[in-house]
Structure 1
Amino acid sequence: MSSPISTRSLGRATLARQHLLEPARMSALEMIEHLVGLQSQEPLSAYGGLWTRLVDFRPSELSDLIESRQVVRILAMRGTVHLLSAADCLGLRPLMQPVLDRIYRQTRVRRAIGDLDGLTRRAQDLLRAGPIAATDLSRALLAHYPDADLEVVGMATRGSLALVQVPPRALWGRSGRTTYVPAADWLGKPLQAADIRDVIRRYLAAYGPATVADVQAWCKLTKLREITDTMPGLLRLKGENGADLLDLPDAPRPAQDVIAPVRMLPDFDNVLLSHADRSRFMSPDDQRRLSTRIVVVPSIFLVDGTVGGWWHLDRKRHLVTVTPFRRFSARQRQQVLEEAVRAGNLYLEHTRLDVREADLST
């Protein structure tokens, strides 16, 4: 029987699969599909997520994919907005419907609306006229539901219907209101749920090795052990804490002493949100620090493969601030500051940026 996999080795394996050890020479579309989507709560977050993983990434490449309908923004895993390829949108959005029902059609929503199917039909009628802003859609529906408010109506609508957020929302250098079009209309194809077994394999290829609980934390679907127990071809491994891990036989598992460069991640980056046990990337103290920012998952930087602190770009002041969680060597500190400027220059190209360190207590 093989030796248990150390927590540090788990981190290196996931970083390799995330292309955070070495940037990949692939297209933005290929990376989005490899990662099974990028969380995109903030419109520009995905640009930073691709920049840190790809060689010579250009923001215009992603904007072109969004405008040409090869990539869309839509609610999916964990009930959050994701940037998905068109093919993944058609398969993953219906697969995640039970998750969306649980999050967006909760008891208070059902009580305020009553007939959720009736609301869905009314929303579909309004959407047939063409793209409609999210707030305008909610206001039009609210007239029929006096016991509800805009938030409740909006939750019920976007949880019930597969609605794409269309451009100019999330285009580089532009802004736009959240405006909806049904995914099937936008992509010209019907939605059909993907095979969960294929999705689990893709998750392991990008986030593994992982436990069943990790897979469920990534997507929020439940009862997946019943499925993984019958899946052929998976490796069954042990973590150093005794956890039962799943993996793909040919997936990379580099040595734990492989160098992990400093990496600047955008807010809401998938790699920090896709495991139930996040110890491969952060200490218990760091997890507590980040739990205080549960509404906004901040922009994090990694040092030697684990969370080193967070960083923030002040566009008006042309200032990048890094807040370390621990002391670094002189070389690591210099690498953090240099990478912070590089990350800031993604958003403020050809601008001279200042960089400063902030004390965690501030």
Structure 2
Amino acid sequence: MLSPRALNRAALERQLLLRRADLPVSEAVERVLGLNAQDPNLPYLALWSRLEGFAIEHLTAAIEDRSLVRSTMMRATQHVMSVRDFRLVRPVLAPLLRRVQRNAFGRRTTGIDLDALVAEAGELLAGGRVLTRPELGRLLAERRQGADPLALGWSVQYLRPLVHPAPSGTWNVRGATPFACAGWTGIRPQATAEDVRQMVRRYLAAFGPASVSDARAWSGVGGLREVFDQLRPELRVHADESGRELFDLPDAPAPQEDLPAPVRLLPEFDAPLLAYADRTRVMPDEVRRQVCVGAGVAATVLVDGTVAATWTVSRKGAVATLTVHPLRHLPPAARDEIETESARLLAFIHPDAEERRIHLLRSA
């Protein structure tokens, strides 16, 4: 039986949050199985909290040289992943993304041959051509009288494996999402049964020990109970305090429960907050209700491995401010560590600010 603290320390260890690692950027992104990139700065902030000596140009170079790719992935959201993981995971997610397209744009694409739409998009993007989603949507709508260009562009994003090449997804670069074909990655059109099993192994390496429901919450993929049963002979099986089965790789690290966990400031949508159906290993339910509001997931502060506060950054002229909003009582030592880590992060985000201020509000 694994205690909540043991599960917490395992998650922090696999997500490089017990200590900053000395790893190349691409290896680190592969170790944690991708980073959320809904906003281009999120993976940079995630790696700052995980890697020793991380600098903005390290991740930018990996995106520019295509060691890492940005695409629509888990939970139909943007992620930065290694080419190897993208090639493995994206075909497994295809049924989920088809369902997302149907739910979001099914009515607006009624009567349109979606297979033909996807094939035509591939022709328009052939030869390394890059088009933004609005540009592609308009070109596709020209041949379909009365079609909604917005719905067509989004439908292609869900239905065809695409990558969003640099400078999109690099530090502070926002705007219309560019589309490029992903054929150069070696991606296959359909996932095999072994691909699904391998995705589960990769998930457990990055987030285990975990339940079937946890893996489903992370990926959005159904039918995983059968996959876990197939893998059972090669996995280590645990239970949590409520008796739920938790699976893990046989050689996975199992850090001691009494290991100290340093203060870490995580960006919005960081994986440990979203990778489990049971999120209590990183935040109790009363905290989760304040962190996960609607479709949003706030930037958080971990104290002793669990969410203790949220944080925001603002800039007014030459003055940059990082404000920490506690969600529980913070002892003096924790407040000191939060202030130190916050000052370092603010210098990373706004190195040119003439003045940087840390506002750590009173404990809840």
Shared topology, TM-score over 0.5?
A: yes
Amino acid at match of 2:303: V
Aligned to 2:153: 154
1:201-220 deviations in Å (ceiling 9; x for gaps): 22111111100100111111
CA spacing shift, 1:21–1:335, aligned 2, 3 Å = same
Say if 2:63 is the partner of 1:66.
yes
2:181 aligned partner, one-letter code: P
* Shift, 1:234, TM fit: 0.6
User: Structure 1: which 4+ aligned runs deviate by more than 6 Å?
Assistant: none
Shift of 1:195: 1.6
Counterpart for residue 343 of structure 2: 341
Q: Which amino acid aligns with 1:219?
A: S
**Closer, same or farther: CA 145–291 of 1 in aligned 2, 3 Å:** farther
Change (3 A) 1:157 1:359: farther
> CA 1:331–1:41 in structure 2 vs 1: closer, same or farther (change >3 Å)?
same
Q: What is the distance in 1 between the residues matched to 2:126 and 2:181?
A: 9
* Residues 330 and 363, structure 2, Cα contact 8 Å, conserved in 1: no
1:110-159 alpha-carbon deviations (Å, 9 max, x no partner): 56342212222332232226111111112222344556534422331101
State how far apart, in whole Å, the 2-side matches of 1:309 and 1:13 are: 21
How far off its partner does 1:247 sit? 1.1
| 2:238 aligned residue | 237
1:22 partnered with 2:19: yes
Matches of residues 252-291 of structure 1 in structure 2 within 5 Å?
A: 252-291=253-292
- The equivalent of 1:99 in structure 2 is 96
Q: State the distance in 2 between where 1:158 and 1:9 align.
A: 39
1:206: which partner in 2?
206
Which moved further from structure 2: 253-262 or 112-121? 112-121
SS in 2 for 1:229: helix
Residue 163 of structure 1 contacts residue 183 of structure 1 at CA under 8 Å; is this kept in 2? yes
Q: Which runs of 5+ in 1 are unaligned?
A: none
Q: Residues 113 and 147 of structure 1 are in contact (CA less than 8 Å); yes or no, is this contact kept in structure 2?
A: no
Change (3 A) 1:145 1:113: farther
SS at match of 2:324: strand
Structure 2: where are the runs of 5+ without partners?
Answer: none
Matched position secondary structure for 2:281: coil
2:108 touches 2:148 (CA, 8 Å); kept in 1? no
Contact 2:212/2:224 (<8 A) preserved: yes
Measure how far apart 1:162 and its partner are: 1.0
TM-score, structure 2 normalization: 0.91
Question: What SS does the corresponding residue of 2:234 show, helix, strand or coil?
Answer: coil
Which region of structure 1 is more displaced relative to structure 2, 270-279 or 155-164?
155-164
Aligned residues: 355
Does structure 2 retain, via aligned residues, the 8 Å contact 1:319–1:353? Answer: yes
Helix, strand or coil at the partner of 2:250: coil
Question: Counterpart of 2:348 in structure 1: which amino acid?
Answer: L
SS of 2:106's equivalent in the other structure is: helix
- Check if 1:180 corresponds to 2:183: no
Tell me how far 1:171 sits from its aligned partner: 2.1
Deviation sequence 1:6-64 (CA, Å, 0-9, x none): 11211111101111011111111001111111111111100111111111112111111
Within 2, Cα distance between the matches of 1:75 and 1:265?
21
Identity across matched positions, percent = 37
Q: CA deviation at 1:182?
A: 0.8
Paired with 1:204 and 1:172, the residues of 2 have a C-alpha distance of 30
Change (3 A) 1:360 1:258: closer
Contact between 1:164 and 1:183, CA under 8 Å: does it hold in 2?
yes
Equivalent position SS for 2:23: coil
Residue 307 of structure 1, CA deviation: 0.5
Note closer, same or farther for the CA distance 1:150–1:289 as it changes in structure 2 (3 Å cut).
farther
1:175 to partner: Cα distance: 4.9
Q: Is the 8 A contact 2:37 2:169 kept in 1?
A: no
1:357 alignment counterpart: 360
**Any idea what the Cα deviations from partners look like across 1:241-278, whole Å, max 9, x if unmatched?**
11111012222222222211100001111111100000
Alpha-carbon distance between aligned partners in 2 of 1:83 and 1:240, rounded to the nearest angstrom = 34
State the partner residue of 1:75. Answer: 72
Instruction: Give yes or no for contact 1:168–1:176 (8 Å, CA) kept in 2.
Output: no
Distance, in Å, in 2 between the alignment partners of 1:298 and 1:69 is 29
**Cα RMSD after superposing both structures:** 2.0
Residues 209 and 287 of structure 1: CA distance in aligned 2, closer, same or farther (over 3 Å): same
Distance in 1 (CA, whole Å) between partners of 2:34 and 2:269 is 12
Task: Give the equivalent residue in structure 2 for 1:251.
Answer: 252
Matched position secondary structure for 1:255: coil
Displacement, 1:353? 1.2
Deviations 1:326-345 (A, max 9, x none): 11101101111221121122
2:261 and 2:275 map into 1 onto residues whose CA distance is 19
Shift of 1:190: 4.3
1:85 aligns with 2:78: no
Does the aligned pair in 1 maintain the 2:16–2:32 contact within 8 Å? no
- Name the structure 2 match of 1:9: 6
Amino acid at match of 2:68: V
